[in-house]
């Protein structure tokens, strides 16, 4: 089955279960704050492992005490799909264990 973009109302519905995530220019995005640069870098590495498991890779921006995740699906013209929602869900489950808020 081919991946299909989600309609705006479907995206909003999915975001209700993903606190802190928003839509920015057809991407799901969230910035996590951490206690140190090392903690932020460690979170990036753990997110990278999740991305490899899903074979779906987001843009990650590493800041001094932050990590910004930005995800969409290239194969459907850069729109948000269920795969993006699943990646956001997994990152949301992973981040608190690393001290992210």
End-to-end, the C-alpha distance of the chain in Å comes to 35
pTM: 0.94
Nearest-angstrom CA–CA distance, 31 and 76:
24
The SS3 of residue 89 is helix
The domain tally of the chain equals 1
The pLDDT profile of the chain, 101 residues, written as one tens digit per residue, is 578 999 999 999 999 999 999 999 999 999 999 999 999 999 999 999 999 999 999 999 999 999 999 999 999 999 999 999 999 999 999 999 989 99
Sign of CA dihedral 13, 18, 21, 26: negative
Is residue 93 in a domain?
Answer: yes
Is residue 41 in a domain?
Answer: yes
Which range marks the domain in which residue 51 is found? 30-98
Is residue 44 in a domain?
Answer: yes
CATH of the domain at 72: 3.30.1360.20
Is residue 2 in a domain?
Answer: no
Task: State phi, psi for 55 to the nearest 5 degrees.
Answer: 55, 45
Nearest-angstrom CA–CA distance, 27 and 21:
10
């Amino acid at each position: 089955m081919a991946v299909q973009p989600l309609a705006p109302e479907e995206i909003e519905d999915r975001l209700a279960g993903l606190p802190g995530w928003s839509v920015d220019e057809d991407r799901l995005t969230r910035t996590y704050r951490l206690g140190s640069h090392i903690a932020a870098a460690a979170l990036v590495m753990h997110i990278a492992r999740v991305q490899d498991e899903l074979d779906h890779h987001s843009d990650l921006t590493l800041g001094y005490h932050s990590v910004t995740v930005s995800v969409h699906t290239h194969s459907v013209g850069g729109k948000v799909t269920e795969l993006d929602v699943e990646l956001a869900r997994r990152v949301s489950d992973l981040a608190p264990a690393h001290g992210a808020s």
